[in-house]
């Protein structure tokens, strides 16, 4: 692109894409749009199902056990399948599995959940005979909701974190990445606005059209899971078009040699010996631990505020996603695009952990002393609980916006200079296992705190969870500093 003139200031800020790059950039953005639309609906629904069925205390157990085991299983299957299927067929197989589950859950399992789930008497008897297995019994009491939670966690890591970005890294050049990757977050996260409003519409607006005693949440599940199925079909269609009209041309032009695929053990040995992969793994682990600890404290406040009302909780989650979509676009336009286009990799990557540390510290101090800020602001029309839920939501919206617009693009840039083997299987280990191990780590630590303090109250463990949060942020900063010394120039 050296023969082409530079963009004007406004175009460099809002649309630094050349005409010849549109058939690569636009379909990739549509794929990410669709994947995030599905993930937002499923993520909001999984929290609503689990939190209102059992409580927030079940989340650390699911993250520490079921999600981790499922992540290990997925990585093993993925590593094996990469040796037997092409990248294109692998995408179709994996996305079809997830979409089939969501449609089956929405139209078969959830409408008959009373039949599928054990009775209250059975759960009471199990708790009496096996009190030490209370978390496992809680998960079993609503096993389909627990399964939905696990499948959705794997979707976020596998479809968005792994398959999309592995595909993008395969066809996007490093000189294009500094212009593409910031805009991916802006364009694709418009899906958060639409999917967030759609969740709110299905959970709140639709609910107001039915009698009070009607199962309005059940109706919203039909609509939400149906939308996931339709959007998934659209993603498959766009992906197929890209392979027919873009990917084959790129592969032919680059004349890539056919590389002998290595066994799973050989691949893991290569990954373990790569300091870049290990460093990226620390980045992902640190983020995952930090956000999960902070997120659980906020959802506890929101659960208390909603008082067990599923439709109300889900409508709040829809508004949260809508607000996060708007925040993500603004962060992308005015923060990440400038840093990625004009700054160094280190400058763009260090912003997220530093702000996580500052905002997270403030929130932990606040929830342990909520009355102080309430009195300082002299707010009579809002309770301390509502204020805590509001502040937590605002902080997490902003921090996750930075994750999508700064953390994700800089992390993906770190893969581009690596070999195909490391980009594919190394990325699977980092993005799937890294996220799951981070969730497992935060889950086990919080389960340990529950056991030591003999409680299921999330607020009681907050001071100790805050120490873990701060430690994760410091490890994150250290990993960024190490990785910055190994990154090539972005130009």
CATH number at residue 124: 1.20.1250.20
Q: How far is CA 486 from CA 148, 261, 341, 418, in A?
A: 39, 26, 19, 11
Helices (H), 105-246: 113-116, 120-129, 134-141, 143-155, 165-171, 174-188, 190-200, 216-242
Residue 69 C-alpha from the chain's centroid: 18
DSSP secondary structure of 396-420: HHHHHHHIIIIIHHHHHHHHTTS-H
DSSP secondary structure of 452-473: HTT---TTTTHHHHHHHHHHHH
* CB of 76 closer than 8 Å to CB of 264: yes
> What is the reported pLDDT for 204?
78
Helices (H), 54-110: 58-64, 66-81, 87-104
Q: How far is CA 38 from CA 18, 108, 129, 160, in A?
A: 29, 19, 40, 10
Q: How far from each other are the two terminal CA atoms of the chain, in whole angstroms?
A: 11
270 occurs within a structural domain: yes
Q: What is the dihedral of CA 243, 245, 250, 255, to 10 degrees?
A: 80
Q: How many CB atoms lie within 10 A of CB 80?
A: 12
Give helix then strand counts, H and E, for the chain: 26, 0
> What is the reported pLDDT for 345?
86
* CB of 174 closer than 8 Å to CB of 417: yes
13 occurs within a structural domain: no
19 occurs within a structural domain: no
* CB of 41 closer than 8 Å to CB of 198: yes
> What is the reported pLDDT for 250?
63
14 occurs within a structural domain: no
283 occurs within a structural domain: yes
Range 360-370 burial, b when 16+ CB lie within 10 A, else e: beebbebbeeb
> Any idea which residue has 């299987």 for tokens?
425
Q: How far is CA 455 from CA 131, 197, 389, 473, in A?
A: 13, 36, 22, 26
12 occurs within a structural domain: no
**How many domains does one find in the chain?**
1
The DSSP 8-state label assigned to residue 309 in this structure reads: -
**pLDDT digit string (tens) for the chain, length 491 residues:** 444 446 666 666 667 787 777 888 889 989 989 998 999 999 999 999 999 888 888 888 898 889 888 988 988 898 888 888 888 899 999 999 999 999 999 999 999 988 999 999 999 999 898 888 888 999 999 999 999 999 999 998 888 878 888 888 888 877 777 777 767 767 777 888 899 889 988 887 776 666 655 567 888 899 999 999 999 999 999 999 998 888 766 655 554 554 455 555 655 666 677 888 889 989 999 999 999 999 999 999 898 888 878 888 888 888 998 898 888 888 877 887 778 777 788 988 999 999 999 999 999 998 888 777 767 666 666 778 888 889 999 999 999 989 888 898 888 888 877 777 677 677 777 877 777 788 888 888 888 998 898 888 888 999 999 999 999 999 999 999 999 888 877 65
Structure tokens at 285: 């682990």
- The domain in which residue 176 lies consists of 24-484
11 occurs within a structural domain: no
72 occurs within a structural domain: yes
């Amino acid at each position: 692109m050296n023969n082409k003139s530079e963009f004007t200031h406004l175009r460099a800020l809002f649309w630094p894409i050349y005409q010849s790059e549109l058939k690569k950039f636009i379909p990739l953005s549509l794929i990410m749009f669709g994947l995030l639309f599905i993930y937002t609906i499923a993520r909001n629904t999984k929290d609503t199902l689990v939190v209102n069925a059992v409580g927030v205390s079940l989340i650390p157990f699911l993250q520490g056990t079921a999600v981790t085991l499922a992540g290990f299983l997925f990585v093993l299957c993925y590593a094996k399948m990469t040796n037997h299927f092409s990248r294109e067929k692998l995408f179709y197989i994996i996305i079809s599995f997830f979409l089939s589950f969501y449609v089956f859950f929405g139209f078969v399992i959830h409408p008959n959940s009373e039949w599928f789930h054990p009775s209250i008497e059975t759960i009471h008897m199990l708790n009496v005979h096996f009190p030490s297995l209370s978390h496992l019994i809680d998960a079993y009491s609503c096993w389909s909701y627990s399964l939905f939670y696990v499948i959705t966690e794997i979707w976020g890591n596998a479809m968005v974190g792994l398959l999309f970005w592995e595909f993008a890294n395969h066809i996007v050049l490093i000189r294009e990445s500094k212009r593409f990757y910031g805009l991916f977050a802006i364009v694709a996260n418009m899906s958060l606005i639409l999917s967030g409003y759609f969740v709110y519409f299905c959970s709140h607006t639709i609910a107001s059209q039915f009698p009070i005693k009607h199962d309005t949440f059940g109706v919203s599940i039909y609509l939400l899971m149906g939308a996931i199925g339709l959007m998934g079909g659209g993603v498959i269609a766009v992906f197929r078009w890209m392979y027919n009209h873009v990917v084959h041309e790129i592969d032919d032009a680059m004349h890539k040699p056919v590389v002998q695929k290595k066994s799973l053990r050989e691949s893991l040995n290569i990954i373990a010996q790569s300091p870049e992969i290990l460093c990226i793994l620390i980045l992902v682990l640190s983020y995952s631990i930090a956000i999960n600890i902070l997120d659980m404290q906020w959802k506890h406040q929101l659960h208390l505020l909603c008082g067990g009302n599923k439709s109300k909780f889900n409508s709040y989650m829809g508004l949260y996603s809508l607000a996060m979509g708007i925040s993500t676009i603004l962060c992308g336009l005015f923060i990440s695009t400038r840093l990625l286009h004009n700054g160094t990799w280190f400058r763009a990557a260090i912003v997220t952990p530093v702000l996580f540390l500052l905002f997270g510290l403030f929130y932990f101090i606040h929830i342990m002393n909520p009355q102080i800020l309430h009195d300082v602001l002299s707010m009579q029309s809002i309770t301390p609980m509502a204020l805590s839920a509001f502040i937590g939501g605002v902080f997490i919206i902003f921090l996750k916006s930075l994750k999508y617009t700064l953390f994700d693009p800089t992390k993906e840039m770190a893969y581009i200079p690596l070999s195909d083997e490391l980009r594919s299987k190394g990325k699977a280990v980092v993005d799937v296992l890294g996220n799951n191990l981070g969730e497992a780590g935060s889950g086990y630590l919080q389960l340990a705190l529950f056991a030591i303090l003999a409680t299921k109250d999330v607020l009681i463990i907050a001071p100790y969870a805050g120490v873990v949060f701060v430690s994760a942020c410091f490890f994150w900063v250290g990993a960024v500093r190490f990785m910055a010394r190994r990154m090539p120039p972005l130009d």
